[in-house]
């Protein structure tokens, strides 16, 4: 006998016993009140009628209850599996599979968050210097390893509330929440020095030195994400032109003043 059958039988027996006791109580009380005799037929009726009726009815009801419970359990399990699949799908679509950072489609909308008057975020664009030479000398697997290590360095050198994304290829973005240019420069320099001093491409006779160039731009209230990206991109290009392994905010002030002016 299966556990399910045992549960149904046990519950049916309990209900039947209760029905027998109740029938005896009601029948004998009524007979005494009406001064009717209590004979052997009364005992038979009070015993077998609840068994003949109560057992089948109880078994049917409890069987249906077990079926409903099994269905609910299956639905709950299916819902949990569906939610887990949805969470995995959401993570895959919003994160870069190699580094685990935010994807471009998830990172850019975060730049458009509503800011209070006078509140300002800062965008950093980080790009490895001479990255193609790593792939050429050491292979694409070492290039991927380098990107993963840069991603870890960005997570290590930023705050929990900041957003970090891989914007495409070897370019990374960091959105520093409620941080202005002066503090952002300090953070960017810390990122640059941390990456420059890190161990890279182990196990190679001609180890490669990895550095990054960083361009930054403030994001005042009302600024457009694409305009900020272009401003930070110009600063990144300036850092590359001036020798790489540099942080540049050269164009950000004038550029964003013009942006804010067009918005008002």
Terminal-to-terminal C-alpha distance of the chain: 79
- Catalytic annotation, pick one of 170, 171, 189, 226: 170
- Cβ-count burial 35-52 (b if 16+ within 10 Å, e if not): eeeeeeeeeeebeeebee
Helix ranges (H only) for 95-224 are 104-111, 131-138, 140-157, 181-196
Long-range contacts of 161-165 (CB under 8 A, 24+ apart): 163/102, 163/107, 163/110, 164/101, 164/102, 165/96, 165/101, 165/102, 165/103, 165/104, 165/106, 165/107
Residue 170 falls in the annotated catalytic set: yes
Q: What are the catalytic residues?
A: 170
């Amino acid at each position: 006998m299966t556990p399910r059958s045992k549960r149904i039988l046990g519950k049916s027996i309990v209900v039947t016993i209760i029905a027998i006791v109740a029938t005896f109580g009601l029948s004998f009380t009524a007979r005494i009140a009406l001064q009717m005799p209590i004979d052997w037929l009364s005992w038979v009726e009070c015993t077998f009628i609840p068994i003949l009726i109560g057992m089948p009815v109880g078994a049917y009801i409890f069987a249906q209850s077990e079926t409903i419970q099994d269905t609910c359990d299956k639905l709950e399990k299916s819902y949990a599996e569906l939610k887990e699949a949805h969470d995995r799908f959401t993570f895959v679509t919003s994160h870069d599979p190699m580094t685990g950072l935010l994807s471009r489609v998830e990172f850019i909308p975060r730049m458009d968050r509503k800011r209070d008057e006078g509140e300002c975020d800062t965008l950093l664009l980080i790009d490895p210097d001479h990255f193609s030479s790593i792939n050429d000398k050491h292979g694409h697997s070492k290039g991927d390893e380098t990107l993963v290590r840069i991603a870890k360095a960005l997570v290590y050198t930023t705050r929990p509330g900041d957003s970090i994304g891989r914007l495409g290829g070897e370019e990374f973005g960091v959105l520093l929440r409620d941080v202005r240019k002066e503090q952002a420069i300090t953070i960017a320099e810390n990122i640059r020095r941390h990456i420059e001093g890190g161990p890279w491409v182990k196990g190679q006779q001609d180890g490669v030195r990895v550095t990054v160039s960083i361009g930054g731009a403030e994001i005042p209230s009302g600024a457009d994400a694409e305009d900020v990206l272009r401003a930070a991109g110009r600063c990144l290009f300036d850092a590359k032109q001036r020798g790489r392994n540099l942080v540049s905010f050269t164009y950000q002030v004038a550029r964003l003043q013009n942006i804010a002016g067009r918005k008002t």
